[in-house]
Chains A and B, each alone.
Chain A
Amino acid sequence: MSTVRDDQSIWEGLSKKGVSRRDFMKFCSTMAATLALPSSFVPRIAEALEKKQKPYAVWLEFQDCAGDTESILRATKPTIAQIVLDVISLEYHETIMAGAGKAAEKARDDVVKNQKGKYIAIVEGAIPTKDGGIYCTIAGRTALDIAKEVCGNAAFTINVGSCSCWGGVPSANPNPTGAVGTGEAVSGITYVNIPGCAHNVENATATIVHYLTFGSLPPVDSHHRPLFGYGKRIHDNCERRAHFDAGQFVRKWGDEGHRRGWCLYEMGCKGPEAYYNCPTVKYNSGTCWPVQAGHPCMACAADHNWDAFGPIYKRLENVPGAGYQTSADKIGLGVAAVAAAGVAAHAIARAVKGKPKDEEDK
Chain B
Amino acid sequence: MTGFLDTLAMALDTLRANPLRSLLTLLGIVIGSATVVATMALTEGLRIKVTSDMALLGNAAFVVQKWPAPGFGDQDWARFAQRRPLTREQGEALRALPHVAHVSIEDNLDRPEVIATRERATRPVVTVVGAVTDYEEANAITIGEGRFLSEVDVALGRRVAVIGADVADALFPGGRPLGREIRIRGVPFEVIGVAARMGSILGLESKDAFAVLPWTAYELALGRPRDHYLGVVATSPADVPRAIDEVVATLRRLRGLAPFAENDFDYFTNDSVNQTFEGLARLVGAATLGVCALALLVGGIGIMNIMLVSVTERTGEIGVRMALGARRSRILAQFVVEAVTLSLLGGVVGVLLGAGGALLAHALVGVPASVPAWAVVLSLASASGAGLLFGIYPAARASRLDPVEAMRAE
Chains A and B are bound partners: no
